[in-house]
Amino acid sequence: MTDSQRRPISPPPPPMVPPPPPPNNKMAGAAASGTKNQMATQTLSSAAPPPRSEPSGQQAPSRPPAVPASSNVKARMPARSVGPSPGQPTLAQLVRYAYDKGFSDVHIGVGEAPRYRNRGEMELTNHPETDQATFLSWLREVLTDEEIRRFHDHLEFDGATQYEFARVRINVFDTLRGPGMVLRLIPLTILTIEQLRLPPVFRDVCHYHKGLILVTGPTGSGKSTTLAAMVDYMNKEMPKHIITIEDPIEFVHQSRKALIRQREVGMHTLKFDNALKASLREDPDVILVGEMRDRETVNTALKAAQTGHLVMGTLHTNSAVKTLERILTLYPAEEQPAMRVAIAESLVAIIAQGLCRTTDGKRAAFHDILINTEAIKDYIRKGQYDDISQLMDEGEFDGMVTMNKSLFNLYQEGRITEETALEMSPTQNEMAMMLRGRI
């Protein structure tokens, strides 16, 4: 064999690989710019520039095009923002104006001008339409980066923040046009039962040592304000241990004669039911449940009420009798007789509340109050709800009142007009007869 035959065969050369492209200067510049903007945002988000006054007659910026509902909010929100766009106020200025004017809510959203709720009615402002950069700067005024990421992930967010003059409940959500936010103003000063001009029976039920008190009504009917006044009364008068479970915490109480501990769902506990079960091992006298949302929470609340605790909670119902029906509909038909017995034995009172405009431009509460007397207990066990309504109409001595009577009393005091009484009445024919002296 020759030398050439012994020589190993060389492997084929590797395929030609094109050299990497030169770096994209635009992309590198954008990354650097993003880093600078991030640093600027962290520095300026808490001190956004004050708004510039709008000249008279200036038109708002053009409305952005509608975005399909399936679009992700992340794609629509700018990555960074250092403050409101020129001509836009800061969120703190919007909230301060609402507080000074006595408005209850601030409504803001991308593609629309801010609005206020003025004693039950929506009121438009002359601010320009909100753009995405401005909205994000408002978010950064009241939310942390982690909370904003949570909103991006879930497209919903509930929380609260506090200014020097008021506490604010926050709800952020996504819509067809873009993200929006509603801020509910909560006064730092808790009004007393007397200042709210609530009936004396509100103080009476606070003295019960065990049982279930329900304060019900639609959203914005003042349930939280009423409950806060009742807790404040107990805080001043009774040496008790009070635990509140809320989502979020609205009125902040300072312990006085009572020891008050407040827990927020999502921050101090994961679920209402979890916190309520745990509270039974925390030596409470009074447990306040912000909202009785499901059967598990109702079950635990009834158990707590039956084992020597006073439980206070809320539901979104419009009358005392409908509250009983709403609780029972959480259970299958075969369980409802047992639940009627449990409710009859545990219930102290149901207070359904609404708000109406008064003649002086303010608002007053009207009530549907059911007190669980022995006769009421018997009717609850039997499910005879029509008879309960009749007893409420005749039970003024026990502190009971119907909504129509409550509205009629406000009318007689000159606090509301005849039109308001008719508008807010659940049974307008009966109210019309009362106003004309036929009842």
Question: Using the 8-state DSSP alphabet, how is residue 156 labeled?
Answer: E
Same domain (yes/no): 358, 314? yes
Please state, rounded to an integer, the average pLDDT across all residues of the chain.
Answer: 84
Same domain (yes/no): 148, 212? no
Is the sign of the CA dihedral 341, 381, 394, 406 positive or negative? positive
Per-residue pLDDT at 6 exceeds 50? no
Q: Report if residue 206 sits inside a domain.
A: yes
189-220: per-residue pLDDT in tens? 999 999 999 999 999 999 999 999 999 999 88
pLDDT at 386: 85
Q: Report if residue 373 sits inside a domain.
A: yes
Same domain (yes/no): 214, 304? yes
Residue 110: which pLDDT band, with cuts at 50, 70 and 90? very high
pLDDT at 404: 95
Same domain (yes/no): 158, 280? no
pLDDT at 61: 39
pLDDT at 22: 47
Burial class (CB in 10 A: 0-12, 13-18, 19+), 238: middle
Same domain (yes/no): 228, 373? yes
Measured CA to CA, the distance from residue 169 to residue 160 in angstroms comes to 4
208-253: per-residue pLDDT in tens? 999 999 999 998 899 999 999 999 999 999 999 999 999 889 899 9
pLDDT at 39: 40
Q: Report if residue 72 sits inside a domain.
A: no
267-298: per-residue pLDDT in tens? 899 888 889 899 999 999 999 998 888 898 99
286-289 and 310-315 strand pairing: parallel
pLDDT at 438: 61
Put residue 437 in one of left, alpha, beta given phi > 0 → left and psi -120 to 50 → alpha.
left
* Domain that residue 320 falls in: 200-401
86-97: per-residue pLDDT in tens? 889 999 999 999
Same domain (yes/no): 254, 390? yes
Same domain (yes/no): 206, 182? no
23-72: per-residue pLDDT in tens? 444 334 434 444 434 443 343 333 343 444 444 444 443 333 433 333 34
Same domain (yes/no): 219, 334? yes
Residue 132: which pLDDT band, with cuts at 50, 70 and 90? very high
376 CA to centre of own chain: 32
| Helices (H), ranges, 201-259 | 201-206, 223-237
Per-residue pLDDT at 160 exceeds 70? yes
Measured CA to CA, the distance from residue 73 to residue 106 in angstroms comes to 21
Cβ atoms within 10 Å of 354's Cβ, excluding its own: 23
Query: How many Cα atoms occupy the beta-carbon half-sphere of 206 within 13 Å?
Result: 23
Q: Which of 138, 154, 186 is the last residue of a domain?
A: 186
pLDDT at 294: 87
Same domain (yes/no): 162, 233? no
Q: Report if residue 171 sits inside a domain.
A: yes
Measured CA to CA, the distance from residue 211 to residue 200 in angstroms comes to 19
Burial class (CB in 10 A: 0-12, 13-18, 19+), 7: exposed
Per-residue pLDDT at 254 exceeds 60? yes
62-105: per-residue pLDDT in tens? 333 433 333 344 444 444 446 788 889 999 999 999 999 999 99
Do 350 and 214 meet the contact criterion of CB atoms below 8 Å apart?
Answer: yes
CA angle, 189 as apex, 186 and 192 as ends, to 5°? Answer: 105
Based on the structure, what is the number of domains in the chain? 2
Q: Which residues of 13-44 are buried (b: 16+ CB within 10 A; e: fewer)?
A: eeeeeeeeeeeeeeeeeeeeeeeeeeeebeee
Looking at per-residue pLDDT, the higher value among 10 and 361 belongs to: 361
Q: Report if residue 222 sits inside a domain.
A: yes
pTM: 0.75
Residue 17: which pLDDT band, with cuts at 50, 70 and 90? very low
Percent of the chain whose predicted confidence (pLDDT) is above 70: 81
Closest listed residue to residue 370, CA positions, set 208, 214, 194, 226: 214
pLDDT at 245: 94
Same domain (yes/no): 241, 147? no
CATH of residue 393's domain is 3.40.50.300
pLDDT at 3: 44
Measured CA to CA, the distance from residue 270 to residue 257 in angstroms comes to 29
